[in-house]
Amino acid sequence: MGRVSLEGIEFHAYHGVYSEEKKLGNRFTVDIHVYSDFKRAMLYDELKSTVDYAALYNIAKSHMQEPVKLLEHLAHLMVQDILKAYPEVRTVEIIIKKHNPALGGVVNYSVIKVAYPEDYA
């Protein structure tokens, strides 16, 4: 088994519960880790035998463009699309950071991490 990852994908998006978040938006960083058996890709040099990280990026990008209230829900939507595109994937882990959340003090990030299956993380 191996891992395909995209780390530090940055977006400006409008996710959040509060009206300021929905109006002004915020900077977000997304990390995606996908665990799968890509032995065939190693042996035969075929993209179809692994997870295409361009496809992962496009899944993240499409969901970042559609505002939701909760980052947990956003990560869940990404995981579902990854599993739909790559049913052979054993585990997906999504980490989303909201930069400088408006909490009335200095906070670098609020962070959520979602892993499927849940017992992996």
Which CATH number belongs to the domain containing residue 90 in this structure?
3.30.1130.10
Total structural domains in the chain?
1
In a domain, 92, yes or no: yes
In a domain, 20, yes or no: yes
Q: Is 98 part of the annotated catalytic residue set? A: yes
The candidate with the shortest Cα–Cα distance to 11, out of 84, 63, 72, is: 63
In a domain, 121, yes or no: no
Cα(69)–Cα(107) distance, integer angstroms: 19
Identified catalytic residue from 23, 61, 84, 98: 98
Give the domain range for residue 93. Answer: 2-116
In a domain, 43, yes or no: yes
pLDDT tens-place values along the chain, 121 residues long = 899 999 999 999 999 998 888 899 999 999 999 999 989 999 999 999 999 999 999 999 999 999 999 999 999 999 999 999 999 999 999 999 999 998 889 999 999 999 998 655 4
